Amino acid sequence: MSVAFLIAAHAEPKLLARLARRLSAPGCDVFIHIDSKADIDAFVGQLPQQDSIHYISDRVSVKWGGWSQVQATINLLKAATAHSQDISRFVLLSGGCYPLVRTDKIHDRLTSEEFEYISVEKMPNLAIGKPLTRLTKYFVEGGARTRGLTAAAIRIVNRLALLLPDRPIARLLNGRSPFAGSNWWALTRKAVDIVLESYDSDKKLNELYRFSKCPDESYFHTILSNSVRKDLIRPTLTYADWDDPKIRPAYVKESHLDALLTFQSDDRDAPYLFLRKFDSRNSELLDLLDKRINEARI
């Protein structure tokens, strides 16, 4: 059995190359979606495609908080499932993630377990910022975190949409209860098959999430929390610090490494296998992380 690491990236070619090389190991393949707005040649120049590293060709223009984030993930899943029937585990990461343990340990753990690592909470849950209005109110992607006249117009449309009657989400959910949570997960092939079958056949569900806010934090969660895999769901294996009020999630600091690496040992129940987020502002910590992992042999 093998593991597919699915990476969604749009910037920082050098960091992506480092992450992909770190994840490359026997029994592991890396599938990469580069935002279609980005120059893919800059990434290939740092990290050429090779036997275990694959750039998917079905690229989309990813916009924050929109369906395009779900579509990019679906495209990664379809590319990975078509690549090999031997892949039993699919791990979604961002280009700003990095493993906390050796890749061989990640492989051995994830190919020997049946749990679905995807944090979920029933909606609404205001304590974690998952209001039901994410679904009941129309949301058009392309306005948030974007400049220009078109983005400004979209933001106006989204504000006006809040005044409209609620959408008929019960009909579109088709008997499901809505759930939400972290958008970074590690799923078995059985779970992925359920997701892809729903994507291909449930047009009402896709209609709901196509015009919902942050569907990447609810679409997969709702499908799996209403499936036969629901009792196997466990919290995400990717750590992120959401306590900083200005930068969310916060950039990794050395204090994060001190705290997180104390969990990592031969204990198979270590709560986290991955950490985010890194970029060029704190990339020097990756050298420290690699050194500590190698010294501790974790």
Determine contact, residues 174/118, Cβ cutoff 8 Å: no
CATH code that applies to domain 2-125+171-293 = 3.90.550
Residue 91 φ/ψ, nearest 5 degrees: -115, 120
Is residue 243 over pLDDT 70? yes
Question: What CA–CA distances, in Å, run from 186 to 55, 72, 75, 92, 218?
Answer: 20, 16, 16, 6, 15
Determine contact, residues 290/99, Cβ cutoff 8 Å: no
The pair of structure tokens assigned to 22 is: 């770190």
Instruction: Parse the chain into domains and list their residue ranges.
Output: 2-125+171-293
Tell me the average pLDDT of the chain. 94
pTM (predicted TM-score)? 0.94
Residue 135 φ/ψ, nearest 5 degrees: -105, -40
Determine contact, residues 119/235, Cβ cutoff 8 Å: yes
Q: Whole-angstrom Cα distance, residue 96 to residue 8?
A: 9
Q: Whole-angstrom Cα distance, residue 135 to residue 168?
A: 9
Is residue 244 over pLDDT 70? yes
Determine contact, residues 192/77, Cβ cutoff 8 Å: yes
pLDDT of residue 296: 66
pLDDT of residue 7: 98
Structure confidence by residue, pLDDT tens digits, 166-205:
999 999 999 999 999 999 999 999 999 999 999 999 999 9
Counting residues of the chain whose pLDDT is more than 90, the rounded percentage is 85
CA 93 to chain centroid, in Å, comes to 5
Structure confidence by residue, pLDDT tens digits, 246-280:
888 999 999 888 888 866 544 556 689 999 999 99
Determine contact, residues 101/298, Cβ cutoff 8 Å: yes
- For the ranges 40-54, 219-233, 266-280, the lowest mean pLDDT is seen at 266-280
pLDDT of residue 266: 46
Counting residues of the chain whose pLDDT is more than 70, the rounded percentage is 96
Using pLDDT thresholds of 50, 70 and 90, give the confidence band for residue 226: very high
Q: Whole-angstrom Cα distance, residue 161 to residue 168?
A: 14
Structure confidence by residue, pLDDT tens digits, 112-148:
999 999 999 999 999 999 999 999 999 999 998 889 9
